[in-house]
């Protein structure tokens, strides 16, 4: 990563937005944010998907700078923070940034924001990026850097699933629910996949905690609405029959506890 830092910084001098793709272990988290400190005069905020990631990253970067956490480098997570008056590099979780945007819409003193591990997409990271892009209209000089181990999850790979995942990213679905739905579409059971993803996302339960049984239960308004939203986005081909094996294979990796013996029935929905 050190070898390309000059090129990355040169790019940020001419354009405020940058996407960095590098494999795990390339030191994106510990090398890029400190380098940005030399480019801006204000604070750099780094968004991490988990609290433990924010803590560990701050400790590692502070160690590399031969400082204690709370000096130049700090972190802020729910119920805990190590921030000092000299802190310019702050590792936080997405919820912390969202609340700060609500209380301080101008982000006074912040000159750059890094979204780390963006391939671990979820609602909070998508919301943070959407808020930042809107915020950039009023502060066009602020730098927004997205770092990811792969561009597949942000629909930039141009592959077969990239366009579909980009459409699904507009929905409040966690990454593994998105994957379940994409796999169901690939297996030709997209309509059932939309209903299954909606059931799992809303936490609908059946008496035996059986996904297939839950799919046969009457649907309340919230479940119907969420399923229709997924159908409108995914636009799966019309199913002529149930294929429980294909559906359960799509669900198996993420939710093995929701699997039960397959049924055989014609599509009636």
Round to whole Å and give the CA distance between 215 and 93: 35
What is the C-alpha separation between 29 and 10, in angstroms, rounded? 19
At residue 138, does pLDDT exceed 50? yes
CA distance 269 to 247: 16
Helix, coil or strand: residue 85 = coil
Q: What percent of the chain has pLDDT over 70?
A: 80
Predicted confidence at residue 200, as pLDDT, reads: 87
pLDDT at 58: 94
**Nearest to 179, CA basis, from 169, 42, 125:** 169
Find out whether 197 and 181 touch, Cβ atoms under 8 Å: yes
Query: Which tokens hold the place of 113?
Result: 């924001």
Helix (H) or strand (E) holding 175, with range, is: helix 175-186
The DSSP output letter for 256 is G
Taken in order of first residue, the domains within the chain and their CATH numbers are 2-151 (3.40.50.300), 155-258 (no CATH)
Check if the beta carbon of residue 112 is closer than 8 Å to that of residue 44. yes
Give the three-state DSSP class for 17: strand
Question: Treating both helix axes as pointing N-terminal to C-terminal, what angle do 28-37 and 5-14 enclose, rounded to 10 degrees?
Answer: 50
% of residues, the chain, pLDDT over 90: 24
Average pLDDT, the chain: 80
Could you please report the per-residue DSSP string of 119-145? Answer: TS--HHHHHHHHHHHHHTTT-TTSEEE
Mean pLDDT of 97-107: 83
For residue range 163-189, what is the model confidence (pLDDT) as tens digits?
Answer: 544 555 555 577 778 778 888 888 888
pLDDT single digits (tens) 226-265: 888 888 888 888 888 888 888 888 887 555 544 444 444 4
pTM of the predicted protein model:
0.57
pLDDT, greater one: 186 or 11: 11
At residue 155 the predicted structure's pLDDT band, cuts being 50, 70 and 90, is very low
Burial category of 78 from C-beta neighbours within 10 Å (exposed 0-12, middle 13-18, buried 19 and up): exposed
């Amino acid at each position: 990563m050190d070898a390309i830092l000059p090129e990355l910084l040169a790019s940020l001098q001419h354009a405020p937005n940058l996407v960095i793709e590098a494999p795990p272990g390339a030191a994106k988290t510990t090398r890029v944010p400190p380098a940005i400190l030399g480019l801006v005069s204000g604070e750099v905020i780094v968004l991490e998907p988990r609290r433990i990631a924010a803590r560990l990253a701050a400790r590692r970067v502070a160690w590399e700078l031969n400082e204690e956490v709370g000096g130049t480098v700090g972190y802020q997570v729910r119920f805990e923070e190590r921030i000092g008056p000299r802190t310019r590099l702050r590792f936080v979780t997405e919820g912390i940034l969202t609340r700060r945007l609500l209380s301080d819409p101008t982000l006074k003193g912040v000159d750059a924001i890094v979204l780390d591990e963006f391939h671990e997409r979820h609602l909070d990271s998508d919301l943070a990026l959407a808020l930042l892009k809107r915020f950039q209209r009023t502060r066009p000089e602020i730098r927004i850097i997205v770092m990811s181990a792969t561009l597949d999850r942000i629909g930039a790979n141009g592959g077969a699933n990239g366009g579909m995942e980009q459409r699904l990213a507009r929905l409040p679905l966690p990454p593994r629910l998105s994957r379940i739905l994409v796999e169901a579409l690939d297996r030709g059971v997209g309509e059932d996949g939309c209903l299954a993803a909606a059931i799992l996302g809303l936490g609908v339960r059946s008496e035996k905690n059986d996904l297939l049984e839950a799919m046969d239960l009457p649907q309340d308004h919230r479940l119907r609405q969420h399923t229709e939203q997924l159908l409108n986005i995914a636009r799966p081909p019309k199913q002529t029959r149930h294929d429980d094996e294909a559906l359960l294979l799509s669900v198996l990796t993420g939710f093995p506890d929701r699997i039960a013996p397959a049924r055989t029935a014609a599509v009636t929905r």
